[in-house]
């Protein structure tokens, strides 16, 4: 049986700066995997490369339910069922979320009425009913925006959901609500990649596997207990325990091209 996401030897660079340096990851259907790591380790880049954002040179493989997505256009990947929720959701004043979902359904060739019925059911479960008749993300608190994003995703029934720091900037009650929304979305037809800087959200959300990314690689994977270990020893403690040399950040690596004396083209 194919996996929701199967990533093999994924590399990504911008100019001569290598950001992802060989990522392997298997996320089965029904599973939630968390990728944790210090700032600048390549977590957001992983999401960008999977969704097909421009500007990266990419090699390796990323199978979505058995279909290679690298090289496809952004909207093709989305139609195949790969969706990302954003760290900073955009606001669309004047457009109701229900209207947006109706248009998205039409665009995707789904029945708009059935989609809206499903949206109302899901919204009730996510405690997000009132968002449907308000402008998209307009005047919503941080936590409400994230729940609204999860609702938008869940309505479109992705096969793989990429959640990049959906817990950032939230107070503790909002983190708990967002975690509950992710648990609500969990299901046998979906694999979730949850990216987080802090282990806080993992107190309220059961991740099947936790992976630590450093310097563009997954350096360590484990069960939910890995979050507690990280909390205790910190990323630097883990780096020492694994005997990893601190790598220069890509911006530090950047000026090293003294042979050509050519400024890098970003």
CB of 266 to ligand ADP, least distance (A): 5
Q: How many C-beta neighbours within 10 Å does residue 106 have? A: 12
Q: Which is nearer to Mg ion, 43 or 239 (CB)?
A: 43
Starting at the earlier edge strand, list the strands of the sheet with 57-64: 17-27, 5-14, 57-64, 67-68
Contact present, 220 and 242 (Cβ < 8 Å): yes
* Beta carbon nearer to ligand ADP, 173 or 265: 265
37 binds, among Mg ion, ligand ADP, none (CB under 5 to 8 A by kind): ligand ADP
Q: Which residue is nearest to Mg ion (CB)?
A: 44
Residues making contact with ligand ADP (CB under 6 A):
14, 17, 19, 37, 39-45, 55, 249-251, 266
Work out how close the CB of 3 gets to ligand ADP at its nearest, in angstroms, rounded to a whole number: 23
In the complex, the smallest distance separating the C-beta of residue 215 from ligand ADP, rounded to whole angstroms, is: 9
> Between residues 259 and 266, which has the closer beta carbon with respect to ligand ADP?
266
Size, binding site for Mg ion by CB under 5 A? 2
Q: Which does 55 bind (CB under 5 to 8 A by kind): Mg ion, ligand ADP, none?
A: ligand ADP
Nearest distance from residue 33's CB to ligand ADP, in Å? 16
**Closest distance between ligand ADP and the C-beta of residue 159, in Å?**
23
Closest to Mg ion by CB, 97 or 212: 212
Determine which residue in the list 27, 34, 42, 44 makes contact with Mg ion, applying CB under 5 A. 44
If the CB atoms of residues 65 and 164 are measured against Mg ion, the closer one turns out to be: 164
Report the C-alpha gap between 73 and 84 in whole angstroms.
14
- List the one residue out of 43, 7, 82 whose CA is nearest residue 167: 43
Nearest-approach distance from CB 49 to ligand ADP, in angstroms: 9
Sole residue written with tokens 């030897």: 9
CA distance 130 to 122: 12
Return the number of the residue (142 or 216) whose C-beta is nearest ligand ADP.
216
Q: Which is nearer to Mg ion, 118 or 211 (CB)?
A: 211
> Closest separation between CB of residue 192 and ligand ADP, Å?
17
Whether residue 126 contacts residue 150, with contact meaning beta carbons closer than 8 Å, is answered with: yes
Interface with Mg ion by CB under 5 A: which residues? 43-44
């Amino acid at each position: 049986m194919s996996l929701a996401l199967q990533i093999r030897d994924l590399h990504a660079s911008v100019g001569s700066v290598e950001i992802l340096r060989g990522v392997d990851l298997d996320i089965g259907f029904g599973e939630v995997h968390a990728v944790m790591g210090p700032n600048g380790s390549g977590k957001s880049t992983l999401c960008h490369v999977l969704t097909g954002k421009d500007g990266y040179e990419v090699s390796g493989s990323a199978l979505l339910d058995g279909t290679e997505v690298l090289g496809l256009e952004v909207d093709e990947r989305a139609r195949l069922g790969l969706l990302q929720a954003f760290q900073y959701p955009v606001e669309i004043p004047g457009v109701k979320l229900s209207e947006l979902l109706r248009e998205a359904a039409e665009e995707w060739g789904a029945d708009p009425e059935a989609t809206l019925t499903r949206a109302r059911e899901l919204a009730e479960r996510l405690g997000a009913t009132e968002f449907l008749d308000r402008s998209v993300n307009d005047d919503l608190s941080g936590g409400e925006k994230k729940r609204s994003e999860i609702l938008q995703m869940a309505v479109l029934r992705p096969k793989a959901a990429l959640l990049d720091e959906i817990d950032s900037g939230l107070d503790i009650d909002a983190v708990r609500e967002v975690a509950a929304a992710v648990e609500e979305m969990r299901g046998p037809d979906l694999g979730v990649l949850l990216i987080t800087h802090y282990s806080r959200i993992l107190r309220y959300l059961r991740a099947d596997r936790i992976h630590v990314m450093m310097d563009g690689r997954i350096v360590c994977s484990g069960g939910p207990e890995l979050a507690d270990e990280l909390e205790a020893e910190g990323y630097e403690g883990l780096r020492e325990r694994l005997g990893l040399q601190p790598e220069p950040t890509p911006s530090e690596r950047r000026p090293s091209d003294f042979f050509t004396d050519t400024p890098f083209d970003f």
